[in-house]
C-alpha cells in the first residue's frame, strides 16, 4: 500500500515559504563579521589623519608656548618694577635726553621706560590727558583773575568819575588849562572879566590846544562841553 500524502494547510505553506527565504539569504561567517567590524571605513582614516598633528610639531609648539609664557612673565615683572620707579620719581624722564650722552645705567633705564610706555599706552595717554587738563585749568584760572582785575579797575574808575561829578569837577576838564590862566590880564581884571567870551575864544584857539598839534588832539565834543561849562560859569558870576 502506498504512502499517504496529507494536504498542506495554509499555515504549513507559509512556514515553508519563510524557510525558503531564509535559506536564500546567506549569513556572514563569524570570521568575516569580525574582520568587517575591525576595519574602519576609508573616510574615517582621512578625517583622523587631517585632525591629528604629527608628534614633532606638537613638541615644537609646546616649547614655543613655554618660552612665550616665560618671556611674558619676565616682561610683566619688569614693567611692574618700572611702574614703581615712575611712581617714586615721576619727574625723572630720560626720554628727552640724548642717548649718546648717557651711561650704561641711564641708557638701560631709558630703554625700560620706553618699553613701559609702549606697553602701557593707555596709562600714558591718561596721564597726558590729565596734564593737559591741568594746564587748561591753570590758563582758565589766569584768565579769570585777569578779568576780575579788569572789572575792578573799571569799577574803580566809575567810582572816581562819580566822585568827581559830585564834587563839581568834570573829568572832561582834566589836563586842560584854565582860561583864566591863559589870559594875560587875569591878574589885573576881575573874575567876571576874565571869563569873558574873548578869554574863552583865546583859550579855545590857543596853540596849546590845537587839534593839529601832535600828542594834544582834543575832540569837538569836549570843546562843546567846555563852552557850556564856561558859559554857565560866566552867567553864574554875573
- Rounded distance between C-alpha atoms, residue 118 and residue 110, angstroms: 12
Domain count, the chain: 2
Whether residue 44 lies inside any domain: the answer is no
Tell whether the model's pLDDT for residue 189 goes beyond 60: no
Whether residue 131 lies inside any domain: the answer is no
Whether residue 91 lies inside any domain: the answer is yes
Whether residue 115 lies inside any domain: the answer is yes
Report yes or no on whether pTM surpasses 0.85.
no
- 182 vs 237: which has the higher pLDDT: 237
Kindly state the percentage of the chain with pLDDT values over 90: 8
Whether residue 69 lies inside any domain: the answer is yes
Domain span including residue 233: 170-237
Confidence (pLDDT) at 51:
55
Could you report the per-residue pLDDT of 89-112, keeping only the tens digit for each? 544 444 456 667 777 788 788 888
Q: What are the CA-CA distances from residue 37 to residues 41, 42, 44, 225 (Å)?
A: 10, 13, 13, 126
- Rounded distance between C-alpha atoms, residue 21 and residue 23, angstroms: 5
- Rounded distance between C-alpha atoms, residue 162 and residue 146, angstroms: 24
Confidence (pLDDT) at 152:
92
Whether residue 98 lies inside any domain: the answer is yes
> Which of 234, 150, 168 minimizes the C-alpha distance to 195?
234
Please identify, among 119, 143, 159, the residue that sits at the C-terminal boundary of a domain: 119
Whether residue 205 lies inside any domain: the answer is yes
- Rounded distance between C-alpha atoms, residue 58 and residue 36, angstroms: 33
Name the band, by pLDDT with cuts 50, 70 and 90, for residue 160.
confident
Whether residue 75 lies inside any domain: the answer is yes
Amino acid at each position: 500500500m502506498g504512502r499517504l500524502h496529507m494536504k498542506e494547510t495554509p499555515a504549513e505553506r507559509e512556514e515553508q515559504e519563510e524557510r525558503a527565504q531564509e535559506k536564500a539569504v546567506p549569513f556572514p561567517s563569524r570570521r568575516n563579521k569580525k574582520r568587517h567590524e575591525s576595519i574602519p571605513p576609508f573616510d574615517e582614516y582621512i578625517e583622523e589623519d587631517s585632525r591629528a598633528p604629527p608628534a614633532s610639531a606638537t613638541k615644537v609648539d609646546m616649547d614655543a608656548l613655554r618660552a612665550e609664557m616665560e618671556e611674558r612673565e619676565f616682561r610683566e615683572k619688569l614693567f611692574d618694577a618700572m611702574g614703581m620707579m615712575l611712581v617714586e620719581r615721576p619727574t625723572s624722564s630720560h626720554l628727552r635726553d640724548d642717548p649718546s650722552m648717557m651711561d650704561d645705567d641711564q641708557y638701560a633705564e631709558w630703554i625700560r621706560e620706553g618699553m613701559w610706555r609702549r606697553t602701557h599706552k593707555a596709562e600714558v595717554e591718561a596721564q597726558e590727558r590729565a596734564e593737559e587738563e591741568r594746564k587748561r585749568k591753570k590758563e582758565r584760572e589766569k584768565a579769570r583773575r585777569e578779568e576780575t582785575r579788569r572789572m575792578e579797575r573799571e569799577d574803580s574808575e566809575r567810582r572816581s568819575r562819580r566822585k568827581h561829578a559830585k564834587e563839581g569837577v568834570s573829568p572832561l576838564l582834566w589836563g586842560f588849562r584854565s582860561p583864566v590862566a591863559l589870559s594875560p590880564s587875569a591878574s589885573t581884571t576881575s573874575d567876571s572879566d576874565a571869563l569873558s567870551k574873548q578869554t574863552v575864544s583865546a583859550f579855545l584857539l590857543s596853540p596849546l590846544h590845537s587839534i593839529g598839534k601832535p600828542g594834544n588832539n582834543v575832540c569837538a565834543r569836549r570843546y562843546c562841553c567846555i563852552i557850556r561849562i564856561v558859559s554857565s560859569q560866566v552867567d553864574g558870576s554875573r
